[in-house]
């Protein structure tokens, strides 16, 4: 993201969370999306775009709320050591305990 875009967003009252690149463990939305994709793969194959969209929305709705909360809690557990000032290797060690 360019600095100008970020500055405009922050001056308009938006909150921006930065996650390390490629760490899906730190973003519960990625985990939620992965659960929905797992369910989507179980749906019947179709080439109709409208039916595909309905299937995606149904799969997103089928992910249980408790699973979404677990994903959010797991992401929070991974983020907590970073908020305490630990480096990457230290955070990994802290999460393994």
* Structure confidence at residue 24 (pLDDT): 63
Cα–Cα distances (Å) from 73 to 13, 25, 38, 42, 48, in that order, read 26, 11, 20, 26, 36
CA-CA distance, 70 to 25, in Å (whole number)? 12
Is the residue at 4 inside a domain? Answer: no
Q: Which domain holds residue 29?
A: 24-95
Is the residue at 51 inside a domain? Answer: yes
CA-CA distance, 76 to 64, in Å (whole number)? 19
CA-CA distance, 19 to 83, in Å (whole number)? 12
Residue 11 has pLDDT above 80, yes or no: no
* Structure confidence at residue 83 (pLDDT): 78
Is the residue at 61 inside a domain? Answer: yes
What total of structural domains would you count in the chain?
1
pTM of the model: 0.59
pLDDT tens-digit series, residues 14-45: 666 665 555 666 678 888 899 999 999 999 88
Is the residue at 18 inside a domain? Answer: no
* Structure confidence at residue 74 (pLDDT): 83
């Amino acid at each position: 993201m360019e600095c100008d875009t970020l500055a405009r967003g922050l001056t308009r009252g938006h909150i921006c969370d930065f996650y390390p690149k490629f760490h899906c463990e730190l973003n519960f939305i990625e985990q939620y999306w992965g659960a929905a994709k797992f369910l989507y793969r179980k749906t019947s194959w179709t080439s109709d775009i409208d039916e595909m969209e309905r299937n995606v929305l149904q799969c997103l709705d089928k992910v249980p709320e408790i699973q979404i909360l677990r994903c959010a809690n797991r992401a929070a557990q991974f983020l907590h050591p970073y908020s305490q000032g630990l480096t990457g290797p230290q955070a990994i060690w802290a999460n393994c305990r």
